[in-house]
Every structure is written in structure tokens, then in C-alpha cells.
Structure 1
């Protein structure tokens, strides 16, 4: 039962390219029973969703609000990458009545969730050879509708999770077939990025390219089903996806040195985990020449909590509201 008392709850929102999840937190703790999911299609902006949620739950003034958006954030303004929404902190404050408002990139929120997730929701898929020191840096890599990553650093003043737009770096090509794909993507999109291949939309592009029917997009769920059935083209697409993911994560690991571990999140990542061993994820990840031994020190885990970004928003907002 939601208590309508003003300033009791904090509002949380996780906005992806397809759906928005909204929930409440109390005392920095996500309240799972308050989670609601809204389709973004046909909606002009985030703010009507927040207003609808508050009416449905019977709440008015809130103690705080934190929004995690799948897109770049600057000076309290988020611009969605795969959605024509702009989210401004002052507008969120106006809708929610919250005195404390934060707008984060969705991967920043995932980074703030580490340490607050149930242990059974984090599954190690690639062990590291070294025992990390307390406070070692970590890395969150998101593979859903798009691709992004965020380092997680423990500093004397608290946790720091810098934003990035890692999905839009250059696609890591090595073989002739890689470069053929790169040229194909450049012809369609001018620039071939990691996200064009290693994402939910990316696997659909790759499958269409390999199948030779560029104008007929097959949904990712059907590609997974075809892969499970042993379909040749689906296996080629899955192999390419896993290889490119391993290379991209290897590059990020050398950039950020996450001795505390790497954490994969997102539906597209989880969908391909069963084929990581068969398609050589570890080899692609660690293929860094004389630094291959160093790469073996980094563990890789999968976060299986769909609401981790909401948990991270709650933790971030609670720490933000603590007296300094």
C-alpha cells in the first residue's frame, strides 16, 4: 500500500530505446512491487509517463527523482540515442515536485547498482586469474537495444561512474570478411560503429546482411530460435556477434583496467551467453598479443536483474541526499 505522505518516496525511471520502467524507492531501497513498465512507442516524451505513473500510484510531492536514460547526458539534459526524446532535470522536477533530481546515463545507473544487487542475480561466466583488491575498478558493459559501457571507480569521496558513448567507437575489424561488413555498414550509415553489430538491432542487421535479404529484418528472438535450431546463417551471425563483442570488451578492458571485474547487462548480451564458449568469446576478448596474460586477470559476469538500473538510481539518489 502506497502512503501518499509528501516527501516519503523517491521516483526512479529507467528509459531504454523501447520501454520505460518507473518505480518508487524508500530510504534508498527499490520497492519492487511499485515497478511499472510503459511502451515508448507513440509517446511524445517521458514526462506524460511520469505524470501517469504518479496519478496511478496516488502520489504527489516526492523526496527525489532519478532518471536513467539510454543516451548522452550533459548538464542535466539527456538526449536519447534511439528515441526522439530530450529529458531535462528541471522538467523532471516540475512534474514530480522533487527537491532533488538527477539525470544519469543508463550505464551510470547500472554502475551505481553494483554491490546492491542480490548475489543470485550476478553470474560469473569467465573467471579472472587474480584476486581483486578492495576498491578495485570495475566496468559495466550494456548490450541491449544499443551498446555502451561505464567504468566504476571507488574514490575517497564515494563512487564515481563517468558517462561514455562507447557504442559509437569504430568497429574492431581484423579479417577480410570483417572489412566487407564494415564497408556494407558504411554504405548504409556513413560510419561503422560497434553498436551497428554488437546490440539487439546489430544482430538483426548482421543476420539480414549474411542472409542476403537486407530489407526484411528478422527480430532478435527469431534469430535466437534459429540459432537454437542449428540454422547456418544464424550460427554465422551469432559467431560474428560474439567475436565482435569479445574484441570490443577487450579494448574497453585495456582502456579502464577493471581488475574488480566486468559486468555484462542487457537482453542481447544474456541471449548469447549460452554460445560464448562455442563461439570463442574468451579467445576474442583476450587476443591482445603480449597483453593477453593481463587480459586473463579480468573476470566477466552477467547481471540477470532486469531492474538493476532502478536499483542504481535509488542508491545514487540516496547518496546524493546524504549530508556532506
Structure 2
């Protein structure tokens, strides 16, 4: 990303796109499905009372830009045009989005929907294959996006007559998979502290911290670490518990991704997105992601149909928003 600079933009020439996460909001201008260079900005949500003030600040930072349309992606469910963020006390609706951006055409997507809409626009450099498919298959129009970051989610990506379709989902709140005795103890640990454990309670940044705490309780060592500290100590080898934490995380991620793949049959590939997913990339192969992904009994061989990639473009959701709103505008014209 180039450093943003304040420019004067012609009115109604571009669209506004935003990716609202649990911690930060990324905002940019777009020309069709392409982000306008130099306009990507990041804002800390804690410094703003709501999305309207974030977008107002962005438009001011961009010299009073007047976008033709706006599309935002949010980390939470969207129902009847209203978004409720899962890990942030914000509510967003189409009317507020239209007012804050002065746009007549607006759209609100779940963040994984935006990632799905971005897939056709990813460059080869923006994705890394971590589990190759063992067989060639021509049924590659169905793909699966799995997001691991502040939270967890997954979304099916379909292509029909050149149109990308991404149904919404809240997969992170499905019940946590338990495969063995240690995962049962982890599940009970989370349940005792946080209630019925969902996938997101382990496969997320805060989930990584909980796995570390659980392993410490097992050993009578009650030190706590942030997710960033756990990853740093795993990398430098100074904390065996951090390495064990990441190993547990990777294998649970592989098992969950494998289950979702059997449900959706993504012959076009599985795409891991999000900051935590990218941070795990160096450990997926050595810590057994592929083995856990394919460990499905008599369907183990069938799992070789599905390649797994890590998306390394941190702004893919913005591109997805741009592509989606461009298609909405085209359908109206």
C-alpha cells in the first residue's frame, strides 16, 4: 500500500469502499473493481463512535470526495440491510451509509462475502498454495473462503454465467469440533469460562490466547500472552508452550476447514483469509494442517480434490466491495 495523500477527486467519479473489522476500518476509493492508488486509509474503531464518523473523516481526508456509490463489508451478520458487528458495538444500516457518503446507491456485505467477491481479481502473487490438489478437476466454479482474524467465518463462492454469488454465513458460531481427549478438555475449559464453545472461541486471535491459557492450566503455569506475543515466541523458539499452542491451533483449523469442505465441495479451492490465517502460514505444513484437513476416514482420498490457498492481500475485502458495487451499478444501467 502506498501512503495516502490528500487529492481533489472529481464528483461521482469513484465509489467508496470500506472493510469494517473488529479493531480497524479500512476505507478507499475505487474505479470499477480497482482500488484507486493512494486512497487506502486505516482507522482505529476505538477512536470513533460509529461508522458514519469514520466515513466522514475519510471523505474529509480525501479532500471532500463525493462518491457515486458506496459498499462496506462488516464483520458480522447482515439482515434486511442492517449490519450488527459481532465484535464491536456498532450497528450499520443502508440509510446511514447513504447519508454519511452522500451516495444514492449503497450496499452492505458480510466481510466474508466481500472476500468471496474479490477472488476473481486476485493476482497470482496475492495467493499462496499451502495444500495442493492431488487430482485435476474441471468443476472449479465452487470455492470456499475461510476467514480467521478477530473472529472466524466461512462463505461459499459460486460463479454463474460470469456472475459471482456469495451467500452470507456466520459459521464461526457453530459448535466447536471435538476429535480427541485433549480437544475435549480444551472445549470444557472454554465452556467453563465463556459458555458453549463455538469455532470462533478457538480459531481467532483471542482463541489463540485461550488455547495458550488452557495449556498453561494443564501444566499449572498461569502466565498469559497476547496473540502477537504467542506468535513471536513461537517464531523465536523461546516458549515451548507458544509452539504447542500454534500446533493445536493449526490442526484444529485443518480439521474445521476439512469439515467445511466436505459440506460445500469447493472444487475450485479453499482460500484462507485474515490476519491470523496469514500469521499461521509458515506453520501450516510443519504442524500438520494438511493431515488434519484430509483426516476424514474413508473420504481421506476424496479430500485431495481440494487445494488450499492463503490470500496474502490484506485489502482483498476492499476489492471485493468494489467489484460488488460495480456490478450493482451495472445492473441498474
State whether TM-score is above 0.5. yes
Once the two structures are superposed, the pairs formed by residues 173-192 of structure 1 within 5 Å of their partners are 173-192=178-197
Match of 1:149 in 2: 154
Which of residues 21, 43, 50 in structure 2 aligns to 1:45? 50
Q: CA deviation at 1:5?
A: 2.6
Once the two structures are superposed, the pairs formed by residues 1-324 of structure 1 within 5 Å of their partners are 2-133=7-138, 136-156=141-161, 158-212=163-217, 217-230=224-237, 231-323=239-331
Q: Secondary structure at the match of 2:177?
A: coil
Contact 2:143 2:267 in 1 (8 A): yes
Q: Which runs of 5+ in 2 are unaligned?
A: 1-5
Tell me, in whole angstroms, the C-alpha distance in 2 between the residues paired with 1:32 and 1:84.
Answer: 31
Q: Give TM-score scaled by structure 2 length.
A: 0.93
Deviates more, 1:229-238 or 1:193-202: 229-238
Contact 2:133 2:306 in 1 (8 A): yes
Q: Deviations over 1:231-264 (max 9, x none)?
A: 2211221111011101110111011100000011
Q: CA deviation at 1:4?
A: 3.5
Q: Which runs of 5+ in 1 are unaligned?
A: none
Q: CA deviation at 1:130?
A: 2.5
Q: CA deviation at 1:134?
A: 6.1
Q: CA deviation at 1:215?
A: 7.8
Q: Secondary structure at the match of 1:17?
A: coil
Q: CA deviation at 1:220?
A: 1.4
Contact 1:14 1:20 in 2 (8 A): yes
Tell me, in whole angstroms, the C-alpha distance in 1 between the residues paired with 2:318 and 2:77.
Answer: 18
Q: CA deviation at 1:61?
A: 3.1
Tell me, in whole angstroms, the C-alpha distance in 2 between the residues paired with 1:11 and 1:216.
Answer: 44
Tell me, in whole angstroms, the C-alpha distance in 2 between the residues paired with 1:5 and 1:242.
Answer: 47
Contact 1:62 1:99 in 2 (8 A): no
Q: Figure out how many residues of one structure are paired with residues of the other and give that number.
A: 324
Tell me, in whole angstroms, the C-alpha distance in 2 between the residues paired with 1:77 and 1:198.
Answer: 26
CA 1:38–1:6: 2 relative to 1, 3 Å: same
Tell me, in whole angstroms, the C-alpha distance in 2 between the residues paired with 1:218 and 1:88.
Answer: 37
Q: Give TM-score scaled by structure 1 length.
A: 0.96
